[in-house]
């Protein structure tokens, strides 16, 4: 999904949200880890789904968070991004 389509969504998967943080220096997986840590530290609200160890898909994220079935409201992501830009 392109960035314009993502901009129009009110709710994003953790993977989709990570695509907003991806740059030449930050990979999608690195951004997913950053978001997962923020979720784990209660800095970013999300509807979290976790993997059981035997179900794992791809590279692991902190807290066994499922990157495709954990959802973040766009407003919460924007607020988190704004608070991190000020830090």
Reported as a single tens digit per residue, the pLDDT across 35-46 is 999 999 999 999
Across the chain, what does the average pLDDT equal?
A: 87
Distances (CA, A) of 48 to 26, 33, 73, 86: 23, 14, 12, 26
Q: What is the pLDDT of residue 56?
A: 62
The DSSP call for residue 21 is T
Asked whether the beta carbons of 65 and 14 are under 8 A apart, the reply is yes
Higher pLDDT, 54 or 13: 13
Task: Give me the number of domains the chain comprises.
Answer: 1
Tens of pLDDT, residue by residue over 5-48, are: 767 788 999 999 999 888 888 899 999 999 999 999 999 999 99
In which domain, by residue range, is 47 found? 3-86
Average pLDDT over residues 69-83: 94
**Other CB atoms within 10 Å distance of the CB of residue 65:** 22
Q: What is the pLDDT of residue 9?
A: 83
């Amino acid at each position: 999904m392109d960035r314009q389509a993502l901009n129009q969504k009110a709710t994003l998967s953790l993977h989709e949200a990570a695509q907003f943080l991806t740059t030449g220096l930050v990979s999608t997986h690195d951004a997913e880890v950053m978001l997962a840590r923020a979720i784990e530290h209660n800095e970013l609200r999300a509807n979290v789904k976790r993997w059981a160890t035997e179900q794992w898909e791809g590279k692991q994220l902190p807290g066994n968070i499922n990157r495709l079935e954990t959802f973040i409201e766009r407003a919460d992501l924007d607020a988190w991004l704004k608070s991190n830009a000020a830090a």
